[in-house]
Amino acid sequence: MKVKSISKKLDALYEFDREPVRKDSLQGIGNFLGSFAGEHVAGTEFVIGMLFVAHGVSVADMFIGGLIGNLLAVASWAFITTPIAVKARLSLYWQLKKICGPVLVFLYNIVNALMFCFLAGAMVAVSATAVGIPFKVEMPTLTDLYPTSIGWVVTVFAVGAVITTFAILGFEKLARFSKMAAPWMFLIFLAAAIASFSTLGIETDLSNFWEVAHSKIWTGEALEGQSQFSIWHVIFFTWFANAAMHLGMSDLSIFRYAKKWQYGFASGVGMFLGHYVAWIASGILYAAATSDAPGEVAYQAIGIAGALCVIIAGWTTANPTLYRAGLALQVASPGWSRWKVTLLAGLVTTVAALFPALVMKLLDFVALYGLVLIPMGGVIFADFYLMKKWNLQNYYAEKMNINFNWAAGLTWFLLLGLSLVLNMWFGIELYFLPLPVWVLSIFLFVAFSKIYQKKTVL
């Protein structure tokens, strides 16, 4: 495909936000609070809290580590992402295009789309664990990586087909439904945890809550076949669970509508309701259950309402994700209409969902998702704050009319290669890589730009 054609298609896709946001389009703090509260109480929360328990997180790890990790995540949004967003007032796409050029942004879009497909796939699988209950489908367990039964395959395909159909029809109405479901879903998390108290032997005056928490929920000992987590795992996972959004700068697209940089603190609502209270709640209900499948776990605690919540949580997370994957992949297709591309993305998503590994290894996938995209956030950060200080040109691709900024491309590829080496050969877990990779991306981009920009007369 020709570069001009790629560039034209990308521009058409993001046409509506080509210019910086105008003053009269800025949004109040309420919209950001609502948006974060809605987006971060999602299907993934059912799985993450449960996996922390399986990985042998202790009570202190969960409560203190979770608190520190979430504070760091909020600080990342407030002090790193939002100040750039309110000064540049550009979406991630346009910011990246100005720095990197259309070809590199095209590559970024494809990688992002694939990540979206796998994330949506995990949510299809989560929904399937609830849909399969009345049909007595054999549910996957923590150690299952491959499809476990014909019933599981049929259920996943049925859920995938429904979710893909809705994504093809557009997601405006679904976004409304998603917003509507958020307060109810949050209460379901709380309710399911409370309903599990008596099963765990917690007294009605809660006098033995901490004792039970130590002995039956966050025991500090990993289940068989699961790696042992420490407080550092909890801190780093929690901090970087949304790495692509804060240090990776995806949320520039949202916060460019903020009146002040302080609106970045609105992320705290999503973090503490979704990534703290909901994770703790899902850990409690998992400890009381006799299954590893999120749908079954919620059903055992509160019946049909629980299973319904798992279906809705998975569905409302998968649908916009699949829709965005379709949009991103549209650029790479040879002139296909959006429905065809979304259908293809839905197929990829559904096939991925067949593998329970996507759910049971969700922590690794979420960490990988952030890790893959975070170097480009470092590039944006360096371009915004450091280029002029180092006598370099910012928005280099736009100013020089180049299609591929090698300084940015090399930064990205090298760091992904380095991460692979550190993970596979040196055994450094994925959760600990995003921070050094982000810091390195800033230095490398400036250093490579120093060499790369010398070749071009400004």
Partner 1 sequence: MKQLLQLISAAGLALTIVPPIIYFNDAITRETQNGLMLVGAIIWFATAYFWLGSKWKSKS
Q: Which residues bind partner 1 (CB under 8 A)?
A: 17, 27, 31, 34-35, 91, 172, 175-177, 179-181, 183-184, 187-188, 190-192, 194-195, 197-198, 204, 253-254, 256-257, 302-306, 308-309
Shortest separation between residue 335's beta carbon and partner 1, angstroms? 25
Shortest separation between residue 93's beta carbon and partner 1, angstroms? 10
Nearer CB in complex with partner 1: 271/302: 302
For residue 442, the one-letter residue type is I
Nearer CB in complex with partner 1: 34/436: 34
Nearer CB in complex with partner 1: 305/347: 305
Shortest separation between residue 179's beta carbon and partner 1, angstroms? 4
For residue 233, the one-letter residue type is H
Nearer CB in complex with partner 1: 146/210: 210
What region, left, alpha or beta, does residue 138 occupy, with left being phi > 0 and alpha being psi -120 to 50 degrees?
beta
CA–CA dist 154, 416 (Å, integer): 36
Nearer CB in complex with partner 1: 233/324: 324
Shortest separation between residue 25's beta carbon and partner 1, angstroms? 8
Shortest separation between residue 35's beta carbon and partner 1, angstroms? 7
Shortest separation between residue 319's beta carbon and partner 1, angstroms? 13
Nearer CB in complex with partner 1: 212/410: 212
Shortest separation between residue 112's beta carbon and partner 1, angstroms? 13
Nearer CB in complex with partner 1: 186/237: 186
